Chains A and B, each alone.
Chain A
Amino acid sequence: MIRIKQLVIHEFRGIRNLTFDMNGSNFAVCGPNGTGKSGIVDSIEFALTGNVSRLAGEGTGNLSVKDHGPHVDCKDPENASVSLTFEIVSSGKEATVHRTVKNIRKPTITPADEDVIATLTHIEAHPEFVLSRRELIKYVLSNPGDRSKEVQALLRLDKLESLRANFQKIANAERRGQKPLENHKKIAKEALLKALGIVQLIENEILQQVNIRRETFGLPKIEKLEANTSFKDGLATMGDAPAKSRIVKSQAQTDIKSLEEKLEELSAESFAAKHTSALQEISVLASDPLVDKAASHKQMLDVALTIFDDQQCPVCETEWEPEVFKEVVQSKLSRLETVKRQQEEMEKVASPVATIYETLNTHIATVEKYGPIFPKPIDVELLINYKNALGLASTKLRKLFPLSESQSTLEESFAPSEEVTALIKEIGTAIEELPEPSKQDAAREYLIVAQERMETYRSASIQLKACQSKVKVADKVQELYGQVMTAELENVYASVEKTFRNLYRIINADDESDFEAKLTPSMGRLGFDVDFYGRGYFPPGAFHSEGHQDSMGLCLYLALMQHLLSGNFTFAVLDDVLMSVDAGHRREVCTLLKQKFPDTQFMLTTHDDIWLRHMKTAGLIKRNGFVHFRTWSVDIGPTEWDDRDVWREIDGHLVKNNVRDAASLLRHYLEYLAKEICHRLRAQVVFRGDAQYTLGDLLPPGVKRLRDFLKDGIKSAESWGQNDKKELIGKLLQSLNDAAKTSEVEQWQINTAIHYNEWENLNKKDFEPVIEAFKELNRIFECETCEELLYVSPERGKKEAVRCGCGSINVNLIKKS
């Protein structure tokens, strides 16, 4: 979406004042550890997003951009700032974002056009353009659950995952709500059956019993039981004398009997077993105070996620990026998974005990009402207290936390006291002493009570049905969503898997050209297995070297970004991601980035000078496309290489009359250059088993190889009648011969006097021509336009041409037949 043109850093992350002109091209930052490379990455991230990953997230403790973003000596956060000028690739529009630590959330955007703000908003929401080694390892070596989160975040699938979690939560909640309603309906049904005096709720039996009572009053029979049928329909108009007692004796007898039966359950062995099991399990966990704390924490986090307004933390009102906040809270919640499982286990054992207490509570509530309306009222206060104690106990057990309260509830006995037992007996006796109702009274009472219970049963049935309907919808949606998400993500991962495999093969063509990999998604997890030399699929960390793992991480990241952004993948920061990859494979990484991502601006950091030079010689970065930090101090910040070029640094040493350092640097550079030349031109070098090649082993064969190619090129141009081409190649050949002669490179092995070991003993005047000679030689192997070293094409098989990266130099080696 964007490419960076310029970065200006002021008093931020250990940097005092630095300006980099990147001009939308690839850019490298090189330097030993602690010289400020990461400060550049942090600055880019800060300018574009207002955040610094290194100061946020897991393991960063109390670090913050506000407090730890500015340079340690910077007292005014207004002065700590980063300005980043970028180009929106699709429109070519240039814009600048200037952000200070003082006003992190209010950057100055110039111009503040809608498309510029939209672009920055997009980047701010998805800062995946930075790939650090820490991130890279997460893709490769983390467990499937964590990898899934990382990859989903990168592919911006977090919304899908959040939706899945919400659907699941709703379905679970509805299923949980169904159980009490089923219990409620069951109790209502039992009460109705008792009132009707039948054992099964069958329409014919209900109507038969009801119509017998209705006949007593000469009321018409009810032929069909419908949703609004009333058993006592017409009864109010009969004008019969009301019952002498307000208590329906038969019903009261049933109620007191039911209560006594339920009380017996309290002393039954089956209840004792459930009770003991619950007490044991809860006591164990209650002894650990961390469990209660963790449960409260979990509850708090659940609530925090629900009430988070996408701006501020609901507790401390700190401003958060929505996705970062959710990620942090979810990460904490995932660590409380154990608590969740323990809670579910405890609920399982506590629930049966709570159910019995609740049932008893309901039965007492029915019986206690009789007390004040007996002909001689009975004080039922003791019974009410007992009922309330049972109610409180069941509430505590359902609530579960704090566990100490559940434990003490279970330790307490809820068997009725002698006084309560005596009171129940007294109520039972009072019921028995009630006068037997007349036939009509009995019939009236029957119809009234049956109708009451029928209405309760109908209400419970309606509630349960509504709940079941919700469960059905929630289950259907959850299941279908899961199926669709899995199927679609399998397609996505299959595509990413293919791209990943192809990218990895490019880097490792020498030994893993048939490499395969498998990304296997399942609910909330992403398996990642790779082929190990045809011996089967294993996790990446199982057998592959650390270097291979690094390149896997890079390839997976690139594959994901390519899938996500396609042509809009225009910028990425690769922060020290290839530290374990060897020189040969890094060269292939350069080829990969250049050839497969030609429209992407890469910013690369490394502590390795050789890797930097690889980038230069492979043409991944231009001659001025890098900064090289050498040292860092708290007062000055990073110190950059002034010359940005090895030749300039050599000259610099010489200006200071430091022949020793100039000679050393020239030697190291030429060793590197000679290896590159031989590799790229497929030069024939005398093999050494110990691979300890000296400059004399490599540079002469490299020079000879280019000379031979140029001679072949002249012959080829002749055969095609391309005289101008022939002339150009001839000039190049002449330059090469001149440079070789001046540098005496081909006399290396026979003239030890010019061996580099002698250089440091030369004086400045004598060493200057040596440097100029090799500088010229180096120039001939490079293209002036793209600054890439020449190479022979193809890499293997019959040689067809000698080229540079941009095509300015193209020496055809195939003669006209």
Chain B
Amino acid sequence: MTEETAPRGNLAPLSLHVPEPKFRPGDAVDYADFDRGEAGRMPRPAIDAAPSDMRDLSYGLVRVLDDDGRAVGPWDPRLSPQTLLRILRHMALTRAYDERMYRAQRQGKTSFYMKCTGEEATCIAAAHAMDRMDMVFPSYRQQGVLIARDWPLVDMMCQVYSNAGDRLKGRQMPIMYSSRAAAFFSISGNLATQYPQAVGYAMASAAKGDTKIASAWCGEGSTAEGDFHSALTFASVYRAPVILNVVNNQWAISSFSGFAGAEATTFAARAVGYGIAGLRVDGNDALAVYAATLWAADRARGNHGPTLIEHFTYRAEGHSTSDDPTKYRSAEEHGAWPLGDPIVRLKQHLIALGAWDEERHAAMDRALAEEVRAAGKEAEKLGILGDGMHQPFSTMFEDVFEEMPWHLKEQSQQMFEERKAAGI
């Protein structure tokens, strides 16, 4: 008798649970059962609090800005209007940059682009709360860190165009920036690899008695990668001075957060099992992101160990220029998102403070669009992808090793000879 025909006895058949998002294309969206919690409600522990004494912060939501645009509660970072305006400006500039580069891809000027629309606060407010020389290990949607560090737009655009001004010599896909001068690590297309790297950098800084800390970002989808868990283990074991950010934007391409475990628990709660501090933050509230990052940075600098921060947010656009989100999620989700838009909310706050108004905001947007347009023109003077060769062929063989070994010299030579023989 084979196993298949064997009687089951009185055991009930097993069933496999495959997660399914609440809303699919065409569905009406209702977030009524989403508990965002009250702004200002979550306690702010001391920076040296034991992780076991602050577990609630991994399950609740740290929020500072209330629905009237007021900053409330113990997490209010009490920033000056000048600092708030700088954060606002960087978020608006990032959005304008994204708009322009997205359009450039649609116009055929480059192969690929990724916007961070709706998630600007998760990296820009965070970058403002860190020191300029603290090392960041970004994923692919943290262009806002470069902008917050006043890195030139033209340089970023040249990378996106793989043109003659691209410092990376056209070797990386668009948006995979690298800037040692901005303490911004080279972006990898392989997910979560930057997580243990950030921990290693932080460990090195600590081992050397330096003062720099490190920070990494990944999406909620990539928390399923082994690298994420290796990183948390190392961070916990050596109490590395590192801030580990999870941008929970609800969607990993077409897979909703349930495929990374969101039906069972929060992403901040991953910290609980590793015995490190975990904070779950309203990622569309720039003040909450700033306050959480500053808390984590102070904790790291005080040798109190790492912090995992989940930024609860929403990916307002597609994953990249290569997918169409209307094919897998309800178009209503973004409009109904219960935590609003990070730029709108910070603008409201500044208006409520009397430091800003709609007219000045509109004027700022116009000026930023012009700034981006001017940078775009300058970058395009150095070429766009596919319009001529912007790097000498020989550069293909450079930087594989510090010194080029014979086999690469030979292959380079062969390439030139073959092209010559073919008359090209």
**Co-assembled chains A and B:** no
Binding site for A on B (CB under 8 A): none
